[in-house]
Structure 1
Amino acid sequence: MADLLQQSADELFDPEFPENGSVLVRPGRAGARSGHVYYQGYRRDGGETDRGQRFARYIGRSDDPGVMAWVVRFQRIKAVRAERTTTVRALIGAGVPQPDRITGRIIEALAKARLFSDGAVLLGTAAYQTYGGVLGVRLSRALSRPAEHDEGRSARIALRAADQIPNLLAALRGIDSSFAPIASAADVVGTTRFRNAGHLQINVHVASELAVLVDESVQSIVLHGPGIPVIVPAPECWVVSTLLEQGWCINSTDDPNQAFARAAEVIEALSMVGREHALARAFDAAWHRALKAKVDLRASVQHLPAPARAILQRHAGIREASSTPASSSALRPIADSA
C-alpha cells in the first residue's frame, strides 16, 4: 500500500489519451525517412458497461522528438498502471476493502479531472474503506462491503469551492451521461446531489461545516484499477464527523447501525496504532461544531459499542451515560493477516 502511495498520480493519467488505447506507428510513403504516429483508443458509450467506440488520433511524425517523448510517457503510464494493478489485485485478494465497480470508476474519473489535486476530499463509506491502509490494520470485510442494493449506492465528496462543481459534473458525465442534478433534502445544507440512471447518487458538499474534513486530510488509495490516489479526512476527524452526521441526519442513505459500527472500528484502529491523542484532539475541537449544529455529540457516542466508548472515556474525557452491548473487534494488524 505504501508503494502505491509513493508513486505520483501524474504517472497514472493522461486525460487526452485514455490508457485503454495503444500507439501505432505507420510507415511513410516509399522513400520517406519517417513514419507517422497514431493513438488508437476507445470512447465509452456511457452507462456502467465497458462498451466503447474505437477511434484513432494522429499524433505526429516519428522523427519529431516531441512526438517520441509523448510515446515514451504514454508507454510508461501503461507500464506503471499494469504493475500497480497487479498489486491492487493482490491486496483485494487478501481481503483489503474495495468500492463497487461503478463507484471505483467514478472516483478514478474525479482523480483524472484533478479534483483531488485541487483540494477535493473523498468522504463517507469510500473514505472508510481506505483507512486500513492509512492506519496499517485490516478492517472487517462485513463493514467494508459495498451496498447490495442499487437504491443504496452513494458516494460523497467535499469541495473547497462551488466553482469546482461544473468540473465534477463533466467528469461524472464522462463516465455516464445520465448523471443529472436532483433536489436536495432540506436537512442537507450546502449539498448538491447528482444521480444516474442506475440510481448511483453522488453527494457534493461545499458547506463550511465540513471545512475541518478538508483542512485535516491525508493521502490514501482507493483499490480500483491501478489504485487511485485520493485525499480523505484524517481518520479521527472522520470519526467525529460520522457521529455528528448521525445526530444531525445529514446523510439519510446510511444505515445508522453500520455507521456507528464503522466509527467504532476506526476508533479501535486508532487506539491499536497508538493514536489516541489524535482522537482526543479531534473531540476537543468538535464540541463547538456540535453546539452550532445543535447535535448532542455525547448522545451519539452512546450508540457506539462498549469497547469504542471505553477508549473515548479514557482518552477523550467522554463519560458513560448508558450501557450498550460490547462487540468483538475484527481488527488486526495487516502484518498479522493471512
Structure 2
Amino acid sequence: MTLPRLPLAIHTNVAELLDQLRAAQIAEFGEGANFLRRERKGRFYWYVRSRQVEGQRPERYLGPETPELLETIERAKSLKSAADGRRMLVRALRGAGLHAPDERTGRLLQALAQAGVFRLRAAIVGTVAFQTYGALLGFALPAQAVRTGDLDIAQDYGISMALDDGLDRSFLEVLRTADTAFSPVPKLDPSKSATYRTPDGYAVDVLTTSRHAGDEETSRLDALKTDATPLRFLDFLLRETIEAAVLHGDGVLVRVPAPARYAVHKLIISRKRSQANPKRRKDLEQAAALIQALAQDDPFALRDAYAEARERGETWRTLLDEAVSLLPEAARAALER
C-alpha cells in the first residue's frame, strides 16, 4: 500500500504551527524576562530568568544554543498572544485528516508541556509519538496504527541527572491537573512508582534508559520528580529527539524520537513482545509505514539509524533480521540498499 503524500500547503501549515509554538513556549515566561547564555565544557546553553514567583525557580533551562533557538528567542521577545491563530491552524490540520490524540491524552500532554516536561528533554514514545509523524514527514499514516489507550513518557537518565532545572511539583501532581483520578501504581517497593493509572484503566508510564544489566526495578528522575522504569534499547530511541506539534487545543509543543530511530526501534521491540501481544503487529505496521515515508524523503537517516543499530551487537542484529523478514518487500529493500 502506498502512503498518500500530504499537500504542500498542509506541510507548510505544520511548520508554521511549530514555529509559533516554539516562540509561545518561551514567551510564556512573561514580559521582562531576561535570556541568559552560559558556557559549559565548551558548549553554550540558554536559560531564561523571569520574575520570581514564590515557590518557583527564577531561572529555566531552554536548551543548547542553535540557530533555531536564537531565532525563537528573538521572536519570543516581541510576540503577542497568538493562541487564536494557532487554534485555527490546529482545526484546519485536523480537518485535513492529520491524526490527533483523544481528548484526555491531549489534556495530559498540554499539562505536561505547561509544566516543562518536554522543555526538560523528556519525550513521548509509543503510539502517541507516532501520531505526530504524518505531519512532520508530510504523509498520511495508516489509521489502524495510531490507536492507543495509554501514554509513555521517557527521559534519558544522564540528561535528568545533568540538568540544573526540574519540575516545580511532582510528576503525579502535574498529571492530576489534567485528571484528578490518577493514582500511582506501586512497584515491589511500595514507596516507588513509575506508572500512574486512572480507575478506568488509562495509564501513563515513565521510562528511562538502562545503565547496566543489573538495573534496579526503578531509577529516580530528579528533573521530572518521579521514578521511571529502565528499559534496554531506549538509549537508541532517545538519542537526538526532535520537536513536534500535537493537534490539541491551540497546539502542544512536545518532543518525540527521530522518525528513523522510532522505526528501527519498533522493529527490535516487536521481536521482544510475546506472540500473543497485539502490540507486536502494530509495532511492525508503524515501522513499515515510517520506512516507506522515509525511503522517499530521508533515506540517508533511515539507513544510518538501521546501520547504527546493527553495529550494536549480535543480539540487535538477530532481532532486526527476524523483524525485517516480516516486512513487505518494498520496506525490506529500503533498508538493505
TM-score strictly above 0.5 = yes
* Distance change in 2, residues 1:14/1:106 (3 Å): farther
Whole-Å separation in 2 of the counterparts to 1:223 and 1:272: 25
Residues 9-39 of structure 1: CA deviation (Å, up to 9, x unaligned): 462699999xxxxxxxxxxxxxxxxxxxxxx
Q: Does 1:122 align with 2:118?
A: no
Q: Does 1:156 align with 2:152?
A: yes
Whole-Å separation in 2 of the counterparts to 1:82 and 1:253: 42
Whole-Å separation in 1 of the counterparts to 2:253 and 2:278: 25
Residues 213-247 of structure 1: CA deviation (Å, up to 9, x unaligned): 22221111111111111111110000111111112
Given that 1:244 and 1:295 are in contact with CA atoms closer than 8 Å, whether structure 2 keeps it comes out as no
Task: Name stretches of at least 5 consecutive residues in structure 2 with no aligned partner.
Answer: 1-13, 31-76, 211-232
Aligned to 2:172: 169
Paired residue secondary structure (1:96):
coil
Deviation at residue 253 of structure 1 after TM alignment: 6.8
Q: What does 1:201-280 align with in structure 2 at a 5 Å threshold?
A: 201-208=203-210, 209-249=233-273, 255-273=279-297, 275-280=298-303
Q: Does 1:2 align with 2:10?
A: no
Give 2:331's match in structure 1, choosing from 305, 308, 312.
Answer: 308
The normalised TM-score by structure 2 is 0.64
Aligned to 1:143: 145
Q: What is the identity, as a one-letter code, of the residue corresponding to 1:133?
A: A
Whole-Å separation in 2 of the counterparts to 1:228 and 1:107: 7
Given that 1:194 and 1:203 are in contact with CA atoms closer than 8 Å, whether structure 2 keeps it comes out as yes
Whole-Å separation in 2 of the counterparts to 1:184 and 1:243: 28
Deviation at residue 2 of structure 1 after TM alignment: 0.5
Given that 1:13 and 1:112 are in contact with CA atoms closer than 8 Å, whether structure 2 keeps it comes out as no
Give 1:81's match in structure 2, choosing from 80, 83, 92.
Answer: 83
Give 2:198's match in structure 1, choosing from 193, 196, 199.
Answer: 196
The CA RMSD measured in Å over matched residues stands at 3.1
* Distance change in 2, residues 1:16/1:282 (3 Å): closer
Residues 298-323 of structure 1: CA deviation (Å, up to 9, x unaligned): 10122222221121122xxxxxxxxx
Given that 1:97 and 1:223 are in contact with CA atoms closer than 8 Å, whether structure 2 keeps it comes out as yes
Paired residue secondary structure (1:206):
strand
**Pairs aligned (count):** 244
Whole-Å separation in 2 of the counterparts to 1:119 and 1:178: 26
Whole-Å separation in 2 of the counterparts to 1:222 and 1:194: 22
* Distance change in 2, residues 1:291/1:205 (3 Å): farther
Q: What is the identity, as a one-letter code, of the residue corresponding to 1:160?
A: D
Whole-Å separation in 2 of the counterparts to 1:3 and 1:115: 22
Structure with max Cα Rg: 1
Whole-Å separation in 1 of the counterparts to 2:117 and 2:88: 25
Given that 2:266 and 2:286 are in contact with CA atoms closer than 8 Å, whether structure 1 keeps it comes out as no
Deviation at residue 289 of structure 1 after TM alignment: 4.4
Percent of matched pairs sharing the same residue: 32
Q: Does 1:11 align with 2:21?
A: no
Aligned to 2:305: 282
Q: Does 1:180 align with 2:204?
A: no
* Distance change in 2, residues 1:143/1:135 (3 Å): same
* Distance change in 2, residues 1:262/1:157 (3 Å): same
* Distance change in 2, residues 1:299/1:3 (3 Å): same
Whole-Å separation in 2 of the counterparts to 1:122 and 1:282: 19
Task: Name stretches of at least 5 consecutive residues in structure 1 with no aligned partner.
Answer: 18-72, 148-152, 315-338
Deviation at residue 134 of structure 1 after TM alignment: 1.5
Paired residue secondary structure (1:304):
coil
Given that 1:248 and 1:295 are in contact with CA atoms closer than 8 Å, whether structure 2 keeps it comes out as no
Deviation at residue 183 of structure 1 after TM alignment: 5.1
Whole-Å separation in 1 of the counterparts to 2:182 and 2:21: 30
* Distance change in 2, residues 1:258/1:120 (3 Å): same
Given that 2:236 and 2:265 are in contact with CA atoms closer than 8 Å, whether structure 1 keeps it comes out as no
Residues 102-153 of structure 1: CA deviation (Å, up to 9, x unaligned): 1111111110111111110111111111111211222223333x34xxxxx1
**Higher mean displacement: 7-16 or 134-143:** 7-16
Q: What is the identity, as a one-letter code, of the residue corresponding to 2:320?
A: L
Given that 2:145 and 2:286 are in contact with CA atoms closer than 8 Å, whether structure 1 keeps it comes out as yes
* Distance change in 2, residues 1:295/1:123 (3 Å): farther
Paired residue secondary structure (2:170):
helix
Give 1:106's match in structure 2, choosing from 97, 105, 108.
Answer: 108
Deviation at residue 175 of structure 1 after TM alignment: 1.3
Paired residue secondary structure (1:181):
strand
